[in-house]
């Protein structure tokens, strides 16, 4: 019967100057680039958390009135080349450096140790890709390969003994992978869409809750993702258009935290869905019947290790099978 209310004020300001360059080196090659200078300031003041009893009397001051601030400057940029092929196809390559300003932990709740300012996150990214169309533009295929080199990647860590949430930095990490998207318009009645992603993530240097996590996978980073959908026009005449849209999405196993606790690992799973749509010929009326997670697959969208302090884990379960219908009219 104790509720710990908390309050704070946050003010963040960001000022930036940037340039964007596009220069045609030839009829086929275009140079792209730019620079961005950013000045960020932030102040979190009057942060306080109290535990109150059922009569709203003060039981304990969990976090006394505190203030934090940061100020930072950053110069980032990008450079790349587009190579235009025949028939509107293109190959591109780019190198860029991104920046994420320092952050406050607004989820501090139980202990002063939760109050922190995470350092600015920086990433250097390398990307090579292609955008192509074939067969009279009835087939579209986009592909990309990438490598991201992170410094001080920001993330929230939850202490399994106390449930204290702290905003931390992983000094060094990286991800690399490839992705592709394919659309095939077989005819006016059938279109097929699909996508696949391959990803490798790794912490190169990091310590969390006293545990060295070098070599571990980053959170929410499945190594394989795949999706596919079909647009099938069952009827298209003077009465209107009736179409069916089945779809599926798959992702391989993943962790929700960087310590990679085995029991919290989410195994791979697929989600199936579909919707049947009708639209009158004048486009005024629409109706739809839909279903999501048709197999009622049980899966988790997040899992937090609280076993040491509380004897259980905190889990968020994904949306179960849902279905419904809708009718719309345009005025």
Task: Pick the closest to residue 278 from 329, 322, 319, 211 (CA basis).
Answer: 329
**Quick check: helix, strand or coil at residue 296?**
coil
Q: What CA–CA distance (Å, rounded) separates 283 from 286?
A: 7
Q: What CA–CA distance (Å, rounded) separates 294 from 298?
A: 11
Q: What CA–CA distance (Å, rounded) separates 249 from 224?
A: 11
- Side-chain half-sphere of 61: how many Cα atoms within 13 Å? 7
For residue range 189-199, list pLDDT tens digits in order: 999 999 999 99
Domains of the chain: 119-329 (2.40.170.20)
* Whether 147 contacts 173, CB under 8 Å: no
The pLDDT, as a whole number, for residue 4 is 54
For residue range 118-131, list pLDDT tens digits in order: 999 999 999 999 99
For residue range 206-233, list pLDDT tens digits in order: 999 889 999 999 999 999 999 999 999 9
DSSP 267: P
DSSP 307: H
For residues 30 and 56, the model is more confident at 30
pLDDT above 70 covers a percentage of the chain that reads: 99
pLDDT (mean) for 272-282: 96
* Whether 173 contacts 124, CB under 8 Å: no
pTM: 0.89
- Helix or strand (DSSP H, E) at 280: strand 269-280
């Amino acid at each position: 019967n104790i509720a710990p209310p908390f309050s704070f004020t946050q003010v963040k300001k960001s000022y930036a100057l940037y340039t964007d360059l596009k220069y045609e080196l030839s009829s086929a090659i275009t140079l792209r680039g730019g620079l961005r200078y950013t000045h960020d300031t932030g102040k979190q003041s009057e942060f306080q958390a109290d535990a109150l009893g059922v009569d709203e009397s003060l039981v304990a001051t969990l976090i006394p009135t505190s203030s934090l601030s940061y100020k930072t400057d950053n110069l980032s940029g990008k450079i790349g080349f587009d190579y235009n092929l025949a028939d509107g196809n293109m190959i591109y390559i780019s190198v860029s450096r991104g920046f994420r300003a320092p952050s406050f932990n607004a989820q501090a709740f139980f202990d002063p140790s939760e109050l922190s300012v995470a350092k600015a996150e920086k990433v250097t990214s390398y990307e090579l890709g292609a955008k192509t169309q074939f067969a009279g533009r009835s087939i579209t295929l986009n592909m990309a390969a990438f490598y991201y080199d992170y410094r001080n990647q920001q993330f929230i860590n939850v202490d399994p003994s106390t449930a204290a949430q702290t905003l931390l930095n992983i000094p060094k990490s990286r991800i690399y992978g490839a992705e592709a998207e394919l659309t095939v318009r077989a005819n006016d009645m059938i279109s097929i869409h699909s996508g696949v992603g391959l990803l490798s993530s790794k912490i190169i240097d990091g310590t969390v809750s006293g545990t060295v996590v070098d070599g571990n996978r980053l959170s929410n980073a499945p190594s394989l993702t795949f999706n596919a959908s079909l647009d099938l026009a069952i009827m298209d005449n003077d009465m209107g258009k009736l179409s069916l849209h089945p779809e599926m999405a798959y992702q391989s196993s993943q962790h929700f935290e960087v310590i990679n606790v085995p029991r919290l690992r989410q195994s791979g799973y697929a989600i199936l869905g579909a919707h049947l749509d009708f639209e009158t010929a004048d486009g005024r009326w629409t109706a739809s019947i839909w279903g999501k997670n048709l197999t009622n697959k049980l899966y988790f969208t997040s899992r937090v290790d609280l076993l040491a302090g509380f004897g259980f884990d905190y889990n968020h379960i994904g949306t179960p099978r849902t279905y419904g219908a809708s009718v719309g009219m345009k005025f």
